[in-house]
Amino acid sequence: MKLSTVACLATLASSAAAFAIPAARAPSMTLSMSTTIEARPFEKGPRVVMDQLPILYVYDHCPFCVRVRLALGVKNVKYLIHFLANDDVATPTALVGKKIAPIFEIPEEKNRHGRVP
């Protein structure tokens, strides 16, 4: 190593030592784990079933569609699933105006806004 590199490393080491906490003043850190809390098994909530089941339009390979299906399963919501083909442009375009998924269609919402289901 060059002499300038050694001098630079020595300067860094001495300045870092100034920030170190002396052993006499170092705070004592003890970590302990509580064993009083036991893990409970997952409990499913009540089943959510609407009068008219909502329809979920998904692509089989879409990670966002998988997230929606997972969330509905965790929330215990009953729904109908409709798998879209990758080249099916007409169905999502008729529902929301562009080729995109997931689409969650709630029949009561359509009736509330005056549209025919």
Which CATH number is 89's domain given?
A: 3.40.30
In a domain, 22, yes or no: no
In a domain, 89, yes or no: yes
What is the pLDDT, as a whole number, of residue 117? 45
Token pair for residue 110? 């359509």
Least confident of 19-33, 37-51, 69-83: 19-33
Tell me what percent of the residues of the chain surpass a pLDDT of 70. Answer: 62
E strand or H helix that includes residue 108: helix 107-112
Q: What is the CA radius of gyration of the chain?
A: 30
Query: Which residue range is the domain that position 62 belongs to?
Result: 55-112
E strand or H helix that includes residue 80: strand 80-84
- The pTM of the full predicted model, rounded to 2 decimals, is 0.58
In a domain, 29, yes or no: no
In a domain, 6, yes or no: no
Contact 100, 58 (CB under 8 A): no
In a domain, 68, yes or no: yes
Q: How many domains does the chain have?
A: 1
In a domain, 27, yes or no: no
In a domain, 31, yes or no: no
Residue 56 has pLDDT above 90, yes or no: yes
In a domain, 30, yes or no: no
What is the pLDDT, as a whole number, of residue 60? 92
Contact 53, 109 (CB under 8 A): no
From CA 40, how far away is CA 37, in angstroms rounded? 9
